[in-house]
Amino acid sequence: MRDVAIIGVGVTKFGELWDKSFRNLISEAGAKAIIDSGISGKEIDALYVGSMSAGRFVGQEHVGALVADCSGFSHMHIPSIRVESACASGGLAVRQGYFSVASGMNDVVVVGGVEKMTDVIGSEATDTLATGLDQEWEAFFGATLPGIYAMIATKHMHDYGTTREQLAQVAVKNHANGALNPYAQFKRPISIESVLNAPFAAYPLGMLDCSPVSDGAATVILCAAEKAKDYTSKPVKIIGSGQASDTLALHGRKDICTFESTVHAANMAYKHAKIEPKNIDVAEVHDCFTIAEILAIEDLGFVKKGDGGKAIESKITTLDGEKPVNTSGGLKAKGHPVGATGVAQIAEIVMQLRGDADQRQVKDANIGLAHNVGASGASSVVHILEAI
Amino acid sequence: MRDVAIIGVGVTKFGELWDKSFRNLISEAGAKAIIDSGISGKEIDALYVGSMSAGRFVGQEHVGALVADCSGFSHMHIPSIRVESACASGGLAVRQGYFSVASGMNDVVVVGGVEKMTDVIGSEATDTLATGLDQEWEAFFGATLPGIYAMIATKHMHDYGTTREQLAQVAVKNHANGALNPYAQFKRPISIESVLNAPFAAYPLGMLDCSPVSDGAATVILCAAEKAKDYTSKPVKIIGSGQASDTLALHGRKDICTFESTVHAANMAYKHAKIEPKNIDVAEVHDCFTIAEILAIEDLGFVKKGDGGKAIESKITTLDGEKPVNTSGGLKAKGHPVGATGVAQIAEIVMQLRGDADQRQVKDANIGLAHNVGASGASSVVHILEAI
């Protein structure tokens, strides 16, 4: 297996983008990434696309072929592979694209992630997101993602003394970061009080503890590392990749406050990269709800299990803290077009490691981590990147 | 890239299986394949799953994690990758699994395909299948798969003099083969007259020119070829793999009677395998409609473009003809649970090459081909297998 580098990234603005269709979004992100990388279309060997549920959100399956077509590659008859792992679809697409280059099968691949979630009515977005849960044992009986994460939060509060204020601080931090990100859905700082006083989505999670429903796309270009310098002076190498699964339903797990899929995917990635959690300079983690960021920093080994709430309170994960987390604003403030999220996380880490993150730039960032979770943790994908 | 062999296969009966759920089906096919291969669960490095639209058919995305879970692998936290390319999802899953072993990343992978299509009401199955077409330019305006293939058939009749009788002979042949296949949805021979006199789905295609709506699953076990003999005395090697895309909408193509995706995928697979079409002893091709089998044998190079109808008439593709096609009964008679189809095609070719196809066994079959198409040809996947 040879080394693989990221030579270009492109993201669209995330938000309620009434004037942009599914295909507009992915073409825009793709074009930006291709321009950023300096490659020509002819050099592309394959496309990988992450999308959770284009079939339900916009009535379109055959997503790989669609993306090849609307990106102008149909005359090349290029192979295009759509992968799905609920909200971890983007991370999984990066991982599959990574392996296709690492194995020598492809030299240059484009990996896109996209979701158009706002063209639905009533509870359809919530219902479609709940297809990432166990349909027969959870969703059918009315469980939704906010409800499932609320149970996890309640148990975490019970077991470890985590408080609603600590949860709120995740949202406050991520909104502060999002305010510095031109592509973020929410570009406004919020206060602890506004989070605590927001209407409940599902106790103890209020509206401002939840990531929004979003449209958006992100793309990264992968290339054999030995050729990366031909295209860019600032390539970023993928030094670790991990993926793991867990029971689909929460009730099958030993401990609902630990995502074993994250623990296993992270260990796989750390081992691959030959580093430890302490070596990570900056991380994008899957904060679909505030409690999810607390689980993530514990399960990724940044802090001990149970200490996540206290870690947030002590500000170690802020932009100028010792372990900045979700510098982009995270899913919470940047927005969460589910299939795009995992790719956008990688794009943010690349921007940080290239020193291109402007007002949200972390100082001396050399190694970064991206952590993408499917629904309530039945799948996780972790990547570790390094500036070369 | 190292050689990869198939060491086990498992298929469920295809049909309207009211008493079997999505997860029942994939677990059954998986268990059969694992027993057939003689491996233990602990040896499995990853799962690949093809499903077109579990999100719409059964309200379940996160299909990779579901399959890992319901197959009893969640405690192993095994990586599980769901891929989608409309009706070519199964073939794409085999291709992705193949590359993961060929690259050395995995030693043993399980590749499953599954669809549960009959738990829907009214036109939902047709509507969901139409999500494989171009939603914005075709399906939104009422185009369905039968309607699209009817246009192709009409043009083929106009350009090449293909007749409704020749189309009907595809159905007659495939029903004759299906009658010999214990797993087929339709196990009854039909006559040319019954095909010609069936009500029209979309002129010139009658009901018996169309593959059915089906439930079913299929699984194959892939392994590094050098280890295959440890498990089975009859491994089958994957000697060629190809995939290609085309415009999603029919109107974007130079010639609607040629699936360029099939031509390109087949050429890629032939080149990879270092063989020519004449070397193929037996083939499973994507006959979602009778006209599709005629296009397939032309686009795969078995006969000249335009000669498909005459070739069917001259019986070269029957079980005892010189180029047997769709010995399983094809999608037409075996059934077409869309995500399962591409994997089931591979399973049939493996059974043929091992000499395990009982009453439908082709004599002296050493090299076989499987051809899987997404919707109206915007994607195709071709595999070539050889007994070793």
| Contact assessment for residue B4 and residue B104, using Cβ atoms and an 8 Å cutoff | no
Intrachain domains A4-122+214-228 and A124-210+238-387 with the same fold? yes
Considering only the beta carbons, identify the residue of B60, B103, B244 that sits closest to A103: B103
Query: Where do the structural domains in chain B lie, given as residue ranges?
Result: 4-122+214-228, 124-209+239-383
Q: What is the pLDDT of residues A275-300, one digit of tens each?
A: 999 999 999 999 999 999 999 999 99
The helix/strand/coil state of B282 is strand
**Which residue among B55, B83, B103 places its CB closest to the CB of A1?**
B103
Which residues of A are less than 8 Å from B69 in CB distance? Answer: 134, 245-249, 252, 378
Fold of the CATH domain A124-210+238-387? Peroxisomal Thiolase; Chain A, domain 1 (3.40.47)
Specify the CATH architecture of the domain A4-122+214-228: 3-Layer(aba) Sandwich (3.40)
The count of other CB atoms within 10 Å of the CB of residue A221 is: 28
Q: Give whole-number Cα distances, B286 to A163, A225, A243, B87, B302, in Å.
A: 57, 39, 33, 9, 14
Locus of tokens 């309607």: B147
Q: Which positions in chain B touch A249 (Cβ < 8 Å)?
A: 69
Does the annotation count B336 as an active-site position? yes
Length of chain A (residues): 388
CB atoms within 10 A of CB A278: 9
The reply to whether residue A69 touches residue B374, judged by beta carbons under 8 angstroms, is no
- Residue type (1 letter), A334: K
Residue A74: predicted pLDDT: 85
CB nearest to A81's CB, from B61, B83, B264: B83
- Residues B105-134 pLDDT 10s: 999 999 999 999 999 998 999 999 999 999
Determine contact, residues B330/B178, Cβ cutoff 8 Å. Answer: yes
Per-residue pLDDT for A254 more than 90? Answer: yes
Q: How confident is the model at residue A1 (pLDDT cuts 50, 70, 90)?
A: confident
Average pLDDT of chain B? Answer: 97
Contact by Cβ (8 Å): A366, A387: yes
Taking the mean position of all CA atoms in its chain, how far away is CA A29? 15
Interface size A-B, in CB pairs within 8 Å, comes to 207
Which of A:251-280 have CB within 8 Å of B?
252, 260-261, 264
pLDDT tens digit string along B209-265?
999 999 999 999 999 999 999 999 999 999 999 999 999 999 999 999 999 999 999
In CATH terms, the fold of domain B124-209+239-383 is Peroxisomal Thiolase; Chain A, domain 1 (3.40.47)
Q: What is the pLDDT of residue A335?
A: 98
Residue type, B86: A
pLDDT for res A379? 98
CB B47, CB B73: distance < 8 Å: yes
pLDDT score for A229: 93
Q: Which residues of B touch A56 (CB under 8 A)?
A: 55-56, 61
User: Does residue A122 surpass a pLDDT of 90?
Assistant: no
Q: Please compute the mean of the pLDDT values over residues A310-332 and round it to a whole number.
A: 98
The single-letter DSSP state of residue B176 is H
Interface of B with A in 33-52 (CB under 8 A): 52
Residue B74 has pLDDT above 90, yes or no: no
Q: Given the cut 0.95, state whether the ipTM is greater than it.
A: yes
- Residue B122: predicted pLDDT: 87
A70's enclosing H/E stretch is helix A63-70
Strand partners, A380: A244, A373
Residues in CB range of B198: below 8 A, 6 or more apart: B206, B207, B208, B209
B87 as an active site residue: the answer is: yes
CB A379 within 8 A of CB A373: yes
Q: Look at residue A117 in the predicted model and tell me its pLDDT.
A: 98
Residue type, A207: M
Backbone angles phi, psi at A11, to 5 degrees: -130, 150
Q: Residues of A with CB below 8 A from B264's CB? A: 77
pLDDT in tens, B156-213: 999 999 999 999 999 999 999 999 999 999 999 999 999 999 999 999 999 999 999 9
Give me the phi and psi of A287, to 5 degrees please.
-100, 60
- Interface contact flag, A245 B378, Cβ < 8 Å: no
Tell if the CB–CB gap between A65 and B104 is shorter than 8 Å: no
The closest of B176, B166, B189 to B303, measured between CA atoms, is: B166
DSSP per residue, B212-225 = PP-EEEEEEEEEEH
Contact status, residue B27 vs residue B51, Cβ threshold 8 Å: no
A-interface mutation test, from B57, B58, B62, B124, most A Cβ less than 10 A away: B62
- State residue A247's pLDDT score: 98
Interface test with A, best of B94, B245, B373 (most A CBs within 10 A): B245
Q: Looking at the complex, does the CB of residue B379 fall below 8 Å from at least one CB of chain A?
A: yes
- At B323 the pLDDT is 98
Does B219 lie at the interface with A, CB-CB under 8 angstroms? no
Question: Are B248 and A135 within 8 A, CB to CB?
Answer: no
**What pLDDT digit, counting tens, does each position of A341-388 carry?**
999 999 999 999 999 999 999 999 999 999 999 999 999 999 999 998
On whether any CB of chain B is under 8 Å from the CB of A80, the answer is: yes
Q: Which residues fall within 8 angstroms of residue A314, CB to CB, at 6 or more apart?
A: none
